[in-house]
Structures are given as C-alpha cells and as structure tokens.
Chains A and B, each alone.
Chain A
Amino acid sequence: MSATQPAAAPVKKASFAHRLWTGEVSYEFVGRRRVWYAVSAVLLLVSILGLLVRGLELGIEFRGGSSFQVSVTNTDSTTIESYRQSVLDSGVPDLDATSVTGIGLDRIQVQTRSLDVDDQVKLRAALAQTAGVDPEAVAYQQIGASWGQQITRQAGIALVIFMLAVSILIWAYFRDGKMAISAIVCLIHDLTVTVGVYALVGFSVTPATLTGVLTILGYSLYDTVVVFDKVRENAAVLEETRMTYSEAANLAVNQCLVRSINTTVIGVLPVAALLFAGAFVLGSGPLEDIGLALFVGMIVGAYSSIFIGTPLLAQMKEREPSIKEQTERVERRRARQTKRTESWQQIEVVQAEDEAPTDQPVVPIDQPDAAPTVPIRPPTVGPEAAERRQPKRQSRADRKRSH
C-alpha cells in the first residue's frame, strides 16, 4: 500500500517515485543482500520443515474417494450431525471414516471412501431424503485411486518442461546465463515458499491448486523480467555513469520499485476477488484453490524478484573480470574524487550553465537539483542518457581538467 501514498498525498518537493528514480531515496537491496538471503533462507527452511513435518493436506482428488454436496438451509452442528446419522443409516457398509462438513452457510459436504455405483446411489438417495430434495440435486464426485497420481505426474512434467522452456526464453531474451540462473533460483524459491505456506497453514491441495502454483511460475518470472530489464538497461551504460554493476542494479530495483508494487497490487486485486468469491460465496472449489495459490505465490514472487533475484544477479556478475575491472576503476576514481570534492562541485555548476542553451532539446532536469553534497550521485541512466552524450561529455571534461 505504500505505493499509493505518494499518489494520495500530494508531495511538496518531489514525489516518492521520483526520488526513487533519481536515486535520492534509495533502499539497499543489493548492498544488504546478506540480510535478504538470511530472510529467505529462514523462509525456505521453515517451508521445507513444514513440508517434511506437517506434509500437505491433500484433497480428495489425490486420495480417491466419493464426495457429495447438498444444499441446506443452515450448517450448524445439529444439521451436520443429522447428515452424519443419515450416512450411517444409509445401509452402505464401512462409512465410519466419513467426513461430514459444512461449506459456507448453505452446503453440506460428505466425503467417503470410494463407493461403487450401487452404494453411491443409496447414499445419494439417503442424503437427498434428509435434505428433502430430489437425488439429482445432490452433487456427486467420485475419484478413482490412481487419479491423484496421474495429476501429480502431469504437474511434475509440466513443471520440468516449464522450467526448461523458461530458461531458454530468458536466456534468449537477455542473452545472459547468469540472469537465467537468477530467474530460475527465484522460481524455485517462490515455489518452495508457496508450497511451504500450504503445508504450514494446512490449506487443502487440489488439482486447481496445482494449476494455480504452476501459473505462479509465470508471474514470478514476469516480475523478475521487469526488474532485470531495467538492470540490463542501467548496466549497458556503466562506463558513462561511473557506477559499479551492483550500484546500477540497485538503482534499477529502486527505479522499478513503484512499478513492481503497482504490478503486484494490480495482479493481486483480481486474485483477491477470486479468493473472496471462492471462500465466502462458494465455500470451496476451484475458485478458492486457484485464488489462494496465486495470492500467496504472487506476493512471494514480488518479494523474490526484488530481494533475491537482483542481489543474486549482482553478486554473480561482480565475479566477471570485466565487471570486476569496472568496479575497481570506479573505486579508484572515487578515492581520487573524495579528495577533490570541492573543485569538482564548481566544475559541475559551471558546466551545467554552459551547456543548457545549446541545441540539446532535452536537459536532464535533476542534474542541477541533485544535492551536490554527494558528488558520486549518478545522473539519469538509460539509452536516452547515452544518446544525449551528457555524462560522457562531463567525464571527458573531467579528465581534461584532471590532467
């Protein structure tokens, strides 16, 4: 919700989004990566523990069995008890393990072992009689024993194929193996945490849940693509901006922060509506299952693309020789510059005044406003910045004067 605040309350000086954009307000996503890694490590650990200790609450689709639903006027305990009694009195054997639950305010669900057709007809008639309706008004589901295995296998195949396809797609798009690896790490992270949430909270897992979880993979990747896109854009002009890769990446995350939040909020809103309708209007079913999986997954996905994906990418990138060189160059330059902060400031001001009235149609507006107390603040970055040649010219002038 923090993203709406700058919009809701007119900001006097410059909006929050704008200050993020220029780097005036900057959160250390890359720099404090150890903290985020630790947070995620804990999340993953808890998820895996939850999965191992509590396990997943598998729906009837995975266990096999029969399920009946009948509309009722209320679902209090006496009603449920009367239905349980009618199940036991139906004459169908071995129904002691039957679960009778109320769904929402107006439906009773009866789940039994797998029944054959004759027993199913009997039980359905018994339930219909208790409810005072026609047997055909009793919804009925029967799941064979191997159905769950089939679904699980298909989901597993889908997962593997998706991972492969996505790795290829990301690699083809970014032409960068490290980005693909980071994106996949994010995917696995999101998947594990989402499944962990299911295990810990004890949400029931149905085929619709699996579908939702597989869809999350798309979303998780989508968030990552948006941020990496900007990282790549910033990294392309590293030379001109005199930033290290990590700084460029961190700036990218900050610049994308508002967009990431907006993207997530706008994606989550309809999902929340699904979840609402599924949970409160229907009480159960595919709407709730898909909605819940997406809801959890999208939030985890947004978190991982900001806090895990980019720091990981930066960390891996910093090991590349050319990036290493750039980082060392930047650090040497900064060591020199801190000694000459005073004179540099003067040069900056003079130069800005010199160049403003030339044929450049667009002037980087934040340049004069940028607080000069921090001399290493980058000007705007991106291909447009490169086209304007503004930062290049400054650095050339800088070099000339320093010789």
Chain B
Amino acid sequence: MATPTPRRRHPAVPLIGFFSVIALLALIMVLSGTWTPKLGLDLRGGSTIILTASNISGSGSVDSASLEQARTIIQQRVDSLGVGEAEITTSGSNQIQVSVPNVQQDELVEMVGQTAQLAFRKVYVAQQAASGPPPGQAVALPSVPADFSDRPSQPTTTLPPVEDQAARQSLLAEQLAWAPSDQDNTDFASFQCGDSVPDVWDQPLFACLRSDVAAGGSQTKFLLGPRLIEGDLVDQAQAGMRDSLTWAVQLSFSSLGGVLFADATADLATQTSPQNQFAIVLDADVISAPSVAARIPDGSAEITGSFNQTTASNLANVLKYGALPLAFELSNVDTVSATLGADQLNAGLIAGGVGLLLVIAYSFLYYRGLGVVVVASLAVAGIVTYLLIVLLGESVGFALSLPGMAGVIVAIGVTADSFVIFFERVRDDAREGRSIRSAVETGWRKARRTIIVADTVSLLSAVILFILAIGAVKGFAFTLGLTTAVDLLIIFFFTKPLVSLLVRTDYFGLGRKGSGLEAEHLGVSPTRRPKSRRLSTVGKEQS
C-alpha cells in the first residue's frame, strides 16, 4: 500500500487525455467561430414575456399539442412585427416564454397574449387598399391612423349555447341578413390595413389579407359581416393533393358546424362576387377568402386555389388550431434596458472575480504550496466551463443569464470544496504516519467517495431545480449542474494526477518548507518524522 503497484498508470496519462479533450473542445469553438458565450437578455437588454396558458373551460390540464400550436401562432405574430432574433419557447406544462432582444414594442406584449380567434365571416366589400391616401383627399385625411375606438368593442348579445341548434340557426339567418350601414361604409372607406378594429362576433369587421400584409405589396381590404361560424366548430382540416398538380385544404365541421355551414353556403351561393365569398378570419386578419359555388350539405368542404404545399398546410393548421382551447395570462413581463444589462453583466463579472480571488487567497493561506494546485485546477475548470457554455450557446442556444453567472460563481466554492476534501484526507493519512507519496494515494481513495457523494447531491439539487424552476432561475440550476459535473471531471482527470505528479518532486514529496505538506504544518511530530520516512523508503526499495 505504501508503494505504487507496477500496474498503476503514470499520472501523466489521464492529464494528457484530459488536455486532449480540452483541446478538442477549443478546436470546435475556434471552428464554429464563436468566442463569447451567448448572453441572456438580462445581461444585454431585451424583453422576456412569460405567458401562462389555461384551459378555456376553466379546469383541466393544458395538452402539449395545443401549447405547441399556440407557440407557433405566437411565433408568427412576433415574426410579423419584424423583430429579429425572437425566441418563443414552451416551458413546463403550461407556459410560453417569448424572448426578444432590444427593448421596444409595447404592442408585442399586447399581441402575444391574445387568444387566437378563428371565425368565418361573410364578405361584403373587397377592394384594393391604397398604400397611401387617395390623391384628391390627401389633405383632408388625418395622417395618424384612423381611430376606430368608437366602434362597438363589446358584443350586444350573447352567443346561444352549442347544444341549441335551432337558436344557432336562427342567429345565423340574422347574421346573414345583416347589411352594412352608412356609418360602416364611411368607416370602411377611411380604413387602411394596419389600423386596428375591434374583432367582435356580432359586429362587422374591417380586415386585410394577412399574406398581403406580410408580402408588403398591394393589399386587399375587406368589409366583413358578423361571424357566421365560430372556429371551434371546425372538426378537422388537412392539406392534400386534389390531383397531381393542385393542393387543396379539406375541412370538416362538427355536426352543428355542418348544419350552419350548409345554411351559410346555401345563402352565399346565391350571391354575386364578392358577396359569395366567406372570409376565414384569425386574429382580425383575413387568412383566406374562398368563394362558394353551391350549398355544401354534409359538413365537409374543400378549399382550392393557388395553394402550394406550405400555404395549404398553413391554412389547414389555422383552421384546425386557430381557435385554441387555451386562454393566456400575462404572467411576467421583464424588460431590461441595455444599460441595466451591462451593469448586471459587470456586477456578475466583479462577483466572479472577487470570489475567485478570495478562494485562491484562502487556499494559499491554508494550503501554501498546494494552493498552486487549487489555482491550476480552478483555471482549468474555468476554461472547460467557458468552452462548454460557448459551445452550448452555439449548439442548443443556451444563453448565460445573471442567475446563470451566480450558479457559476457558487460553483467556485463547490469545486474548491473537492480540493479541500482531497487535501484534508491526504493530510489525515500523513498524520497517521504515511509518507506523503503514499498518503496521496490512500487519501485519494477515501476522498473519492466523499467527493462523488457530495457532487451527486449538488447535481441532484441542480437537476430538480432545473426541471421545476420557472423563468430566469432555471439558468442558475443549469450552470450549477454543469459546473458540478465539470468539477467531477477536473478532480478525477486533472487535480489528482497533478498532485500525484507533484509529490514525485522532492519539494512536495518530502514536504519541504512552503509546500503545504511539511511536517510542522501537518502537525506530524518532527521527531517521529524521519523514522517513518526511512521506513517508507525502505519499503519502496524492497518492491
């Protein structure tokens, strides 16, 4: 036990292996061309919005498919604002997190929180919207967007329950009989795409084709009647090939929806263009406005037009999921200005620097020469952690947040703790009379267990926190876990081999002054010291 067995690997072997891995990581970083970690919005400024979804029925859980669809729709809404680098992610079972760099967009907050509402309305007027005011009226028209806030924003009647088919049918008949008033026509004339008009089910709506707005070319604006059919009556929708060339969207309604759709199409089919069209409206935008040629009796319809695969499946998705059974509550909006972000980054760096210095100073004070090992190990741990954070930012989009920095800083202590356990065990064994060289081996075997358990506990709490934490503190759990894992690697493949190498030198191996392993510092009785050293030397020669 006092002498190393011949089978034991040279301590340089794991060191070389370890450095090869670091070099590999560094190489990947260089190749990817990213040199700095991706910073979270709290460190560079930006807005984070957390929405909590709840079932519209009030109880019951939120199913993940609906949440994912809501995420896609919110993504589309945010993208339509032209915000770069927006990230929309689901988190937990019922949350959607929207992160947008560069502080702006109060409308963003307004927009993302709305429940997507899908409905079918009758088209009364469809006309080219002027991109600017018509020439003759340029002076007369206000330059600010027309204000439609005086239009009704609350429904005047309530929608009959779904079970009451007769009431729904008579209501539909009423809605179909609706005709725009003079006021509606005047308002519609001044309406421009982009103006906001309240989307109320028993009121007319002015809207534009969303695809036109996105494309930015000429725009068609619609004067739409009240809602004929609510989106939640759509049962199924899917995109498919009608023949080898044209894409179509097939949709089928629930039984009530089918009856209403039959009534509606019967009415529309008798009208002339554009009043034979119905508009599919999502979030006050017209998604599509197909025309009806004949009554569609069986509740399943096919929409054809100039679809390609993408537009067809987009429309199918809108029809299928447009009216989500989810209501969203604005849970947390956090907007950090760029200066505050910079301040926070600085504070994090200061905390890290001061923490590191304190730990290093304490290590030198208490462990003297072994402090070099602490510094080297912390430096290597720092490099590995940095590389991992940069690479994770590059590959999975992990962004270092302020709590994340806190996790790294706290982990300085966790990492240094492992060294304390190791060194104390070595010193314990040296106190029991072992030579320092053998104490490193025996002490390591005992320290190893404790370090593994301690790190397991730390990892365990990090994992639990990561799974259950909401919002920004997730970053803390992540980096704490990451650095704990790095600590395990460092102590096994760097610190221990390094100490084994160092004690081969006389300075550390014989416990010279200042090495931190000298007899007086360990408290080994000086008179007994030469004897045990002699004994262990004899033992070595014998093997």
Binding site for B on A (CB under 8 A): 3-4, 6-8, 10-11, 14-19, 21-22, 61, 69, 71, 107, 117, 120-121, 136-144, 146-147, 150-151, 154-155, 157-158, 161-162, 165-166, 169, 173, 207-208, 210-211, 214-215, 217-218, 221-222, 225-226, 229, 233, 255, 258-259, 262-263, 265-274, 276-278, 281-282, 285-287, 290-291, 294, 361-366, 369, 380, 382, 384-385, 387
Question: Of B330, B442, B473, which is in contact with the most chain A CB atoms at under 10 Å from its CB?
Answer: B473
Q: Which of A61, A286, A361, A366 contacts B406 (CB 8 A)?
A: A286
From residue B343, how far is it (CB to closest CB) to chain A in Å? 6
* Neighbouring A residues of B329 by C-beta, 8 Å: 144, 146
17 A-B pairs besides A270-B409, A273-B353 with CB distance below 8 A are A7-B521, A15-B520, A139-B337, A142-B109, A147-B50, A162-B460, A207-B470, A222-B417, A263-B421, A270-B352, A270-B410, A290-B476, A294-B410, A362-B536, A363-B532, A364-B433, A384-B442
Asked if A268 contacts B413 (CB within 8 A), the reply is: yes
Cβ proximity bits B459-491 to A, threshold 8 Å, 1 near / 0 not: 011101100111111001100100000000000
Residues of B contacting A364 with CB < 8 Å? 432-433
Whether B450 is near chain A, meaning CB under 8 Å from some CB there, is yes
Report if A139-B340 is in contact (Cβ < 8 Å); known contacts: A263-B417, A290-B406, A362-B433. yes
Is the beta-carbon distance between B106 and A365 smaller than 8 angstroms? Answer: no
Which 3 A-B pairs have CB atoms at the shortest separation, nearest pair first? A18-B523, A270-B355, A15-B523
Most buried by A among B329, B413, B414: B413
Across-interface contacts of A268 in B (CB, < 8 A): 413
Interface string of B196-217 (1 = CB under 8 A from A): 0000000000000000000000
Q: What residues of chain B lie closer than 8 Å to A10, measured between beta carbons?
A: 520-521
**How far does the Cβ of A191 sit from chain B's closest Cβ, in whole Å?**
13
Q: Are A136 and B355 in contact (CB under 8 A)?
A: no
Residues of B in contact with A, size category:
35 or more
- Chain B residues within 8 Å of A, Cβ to Cβ: 1-2, 50, 52, 103-104, 106, 109-110, 329-340, 343-344, 346-348, 350-356, 358-359, 362-363, 365-366, 368, 402-403, 405-406, 409-410, 412-414, 416-417, 420-421, 424, 427-429, 431-434, 442, 446, 449-450, 453-454, 456-458, 460-462, 464-465, 468-473, 476-477, 480, 520-525, 528, 531-532, 535-536, 538-539
Known: A71-B339, A259-B420, A263-B417. Is A21-B523 also a contact (CB below 8 A)?
yes
Residues of B within 8 A of A22 (CB): 431
> Complex: how many Å from CA A262 to CA B347?
26
Query: Which residues from A are CB-within-8-Å of B538?
Result: 361
In the complex, the answer to whether A384 meets B432 with C-beta atoms within 8 Å is yes
Find out whether the CB atom of B347 lies under 8 angstroms from the CB atom of A282: yes
Residues of A within 8 A of B409 (CB): 270-271, 273-274
A-B pairs with beta carbons under 8 Å apart, 9 shown: A19-B523, A69-B337, A121-B106, A137-B103, A143-B333, A263-B417, A273-B352, A290-B410, A361-B536
Closest B-chain residue to A282, C-beta based?
B347
Query: Which of B104, B339, B470, B523 lies in contact with A11, CB distance below 8 A?
Result: B523
Q: How far is the CB of A171 from chain B (nearest CB, A)?
A: 12
> Considering the chains assembled together, what is the distance between the CA atoms of A272 and B361 in angstroms?
14
Instruction: List, in ascending order, chain A residues with CB within 8 A of B405's CB.
Output: 287
Smallest CB-CB separation from B452: which chain A residue? A173
Q: How far is the CA of A148 from the CA of B431 in the complex (A)?
A: 53
Contact present for A215 and B52 (CB under 8 Å)? no
B413 in contact with A18 (CB, 8 Å): no
> Do A258 and B461 touch across chains, with their CB atoms under 8 A apart?
no
Q: For the complex, give the distance between the alpha carbons of A26 and B453 in Å.
A: 27
Q: In terms of DSSP, what is the predominant structure of the interface of chain B?
A: helix
Instruction: Kindly state the separation between the CA atoms of A18 and B520 in the bound complex, as whole angstroms.
Output: 10
Partner among B332, B354, B420, B480 whose Cβ is within 8 Å of the Cβ of A142? B332
With a cutoff of 8 Å between Cβ atoms, the chain A residues found around residue B413 in the complex are: 266-271
Q: How far is the CA of A157 from the CA of B417 in the complex (A)?
A: 29
Distance in angstroms between the alpha carbons of A384 and B52 in the assembled complex: 59
CB-based contact B460/A278 at 8 Å: no
A17 touching B523 by the CB < 8 A rule? yes
Say yes or no: B346 contacts A218, CB within 8 Å.
Answer: no
Alpha-carbon gap, A334 to B64, bound state (A): 70
A residues near B356, Cβ cutoff 8 Å:
270
Chain A nearest CB from B416 CB (Å) reads 5
- On whether the beta carbons of A136 and B359 are closer than 8 Å, the reply is no
Residues of A within 8 A of B402 (CB): 285-287
Docked-complex contact A225 and B468, CB < 8 angstroms: no
A258 engages B355 (CB within 8 Å) = no
Instruction: Check A270/B331 contact, CB under 8 A, given A71-B340, A361-B2, A369-B525.
Output: no
Name the distance in Å between A297's Cβ and chain B's nearest Cβ: 11
Q: Which residue of B lies closest to A120 (CB)?
A: B106
Chain A residues with Cβ under 8 A from B333's Cβ?
Answer: 140-143
Q: A266-B413, A286-B402 are in contact. Are A281 and B350 (CB under 8 A)?
A: yes
Chain B residues whose CB sits within 8 angstroms of the CB of A285 once the complex forms: 344, 347, 402
Is B365 touching A8 in the complex (CB atoms < 8 A)?
Answer: yes
Cβ contacts under 8 Å, B464 to chain A: 158, 161-162, 165, 214
B461 and A150 within 8 A (CB): no
Question: Using Cβ atoms and an 8 Å threshold, which residues of chain A touch B2?
Answer: 361-362
